[in-house]
């Protein structure tokens, strides 16, 4: 283990499904406050890597530690990992469609005492203020009372990011947020993630290169290929790396 403190450190992770090696000797280190973009062709193992971090899938071997090695994530279950402050946004939004935007945020508030209490209990001033603050961050103040099910696709994605903020997630894992978004929504999502960087640590999996460039300026980008880190570096370097061009950018598909 390196001497430098990392918020998240993965070393030598392996995971195979029926003999197919989806994650192959994967090592990955994340500093607190980083906004890291992970790209790579379809099937590179990006989503599986998030499954390993969140405890959804157990690796065959390797190590995965949190907060400068204070917690061995491989010894914890999904709920315990979530309680450490590791929040995940799936590709398809999973909001409560029949509840208002505000209610969705109340339901996610850290320390919230169950669904019944969140919806029908007395809402404290602190909770109100936190919800208002998050609504501003995710640009949904004007839609606070709308049912989440009636929001546009992009707005639902922002609400879900807001729900991670309400949970007080220290690490936000965001899988392909721009999928299905208009260019305008994608750009605004980029601005939202940039505004959160530093205060939170964020891993974004993405394939839209304009979006990757927008959010990774001056930051490290990781390229995954066949379950392994192919290379890491600034986006310009990545886009000019022969190996990346070969396995990813050279392919005509938009896959990531």
Q: Which residues bind Mg ion (CB under 5 A)?
A: 46-47
| Strand pairing class (201-205; 20-30) | unpaired
**Among ligand ADP, Mg ion, none, what does residue 127 contact (CB within 5–8 Å per kind)?**
none
- Rounded to whole angstroms, how far apart are CA atoms 23 and 26? 6
- Binding to ligand ADP by CB under 6 A, coded x per residue (else -) over 136-175, reads ----------------------------------------
Give the residue carrying structure tokens 């909001």: 95
Q: Are 174 and 161 in contact (CB under 8 A)?
A: yes
SS3 109: coil
Residue 48 binds ligand ADP, judged by CB under 6 A: yes
Cβ atoms 237, 69 nearer than 8 A: no
C-beta closer to ligand ADP: residue 39 or 73: 39
SS3 for 1-15 is CCCCCCCEEEEEEEE
Q: Which of 14, 25, 32, 47 touches ligand ADP by CB under 6 A? A: 47
Listing DSSP states for 139-202 in one string gives T-GGGTTSBGGGS-HHHHHHHHHHHHHHTT-SEEEEE-TTTT--HHHHHHHHHHHHHHBTTBEE
* Least distance in angstroms from the C-beta of 123 to ligand ADP: 38
Site string for ligand ADP, 27-46 (x = CB under 6 A): -------------x-xxxxx
Number of residues that bind ligand ADP (CB under 6 A): 10
Our CB check for ligand ADP shows the closer of 107 and 181 to be: 181
Q: Closer to ligand ADP at the Cβ: 47 or 100?
A: 47
Specify the residue, 43 or 121, whose C-beta has the smaller distance to ligand ADP: 43
Give dist(CA 197, CA 202) in Å, integer. 7
User: Does 22 interact with ligand ADP (rule: CB under 6 A)?
Assistant: yes
- Any contact of residue 99 with ligand ADP (CB under 6 A)? no
Distance set, CA 10 to CA 5, 57, 65, 156 (Å): 13, 14, 7, 31
The entry of Mg ion, ligand ADP, none near residue 17 (CB within 5 to 8 angstroms by kind) is ligand ADP
Residues that bind ligand ADP (CB under 6 A): 17, 22, 40, 42-48
């Amino acid at each position: 283990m390196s001497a430098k403190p990392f918020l998240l450190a993965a070393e030598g992770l392996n995971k195979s499904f029926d003999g197919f090696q989806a994650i192959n000797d994967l090592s990955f280190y994340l500093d607190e406050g980083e906004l890291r973009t992970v790209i790579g062709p379809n099937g590179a193992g990006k989503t599986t890597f998030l499954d390993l971090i969140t405890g959804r899938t157990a690796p065959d071997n390797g190590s995965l530690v949190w907060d400068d090695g204070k917690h061995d994530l491989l010894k914890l279950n999904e709920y315990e990992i979530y309680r450490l402050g590791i929040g995940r946004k799936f590709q398809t939004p999973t909001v409560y469609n029949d509840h208002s935007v505000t209610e969705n945020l109340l339901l996610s508030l850290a320390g919230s005492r169950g669904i019944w209490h969140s919806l029908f209990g007395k809402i404290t001033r602190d909770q109100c203020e936190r919800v208002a603050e998050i609504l501003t961050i995710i640009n949904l103040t004007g839609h606070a009372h709308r049912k989440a099910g009636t929001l546009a696709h992009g707005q639902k994605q922002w609400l879900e990011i807001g729900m991670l903020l309400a949970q007080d997630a220290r690490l936000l894992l965001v899988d392909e947020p721009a999928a299905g978004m208009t260019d305008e929504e994608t750009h605004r999502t980029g601005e939202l993630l940039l505004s959160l960087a530093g205060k939170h640590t964020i891993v974004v999996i993405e394939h839209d290169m304009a979006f990757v460039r927008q959010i990774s300026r001056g930051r490290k980008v990781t390229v995954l290929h066949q379950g392994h880190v192919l290379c890491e570096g600034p986006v310009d370097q990545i886009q000019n790396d022969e190996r990346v061009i070969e396995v990813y950018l050279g392919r005509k598909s938009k896959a990531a």
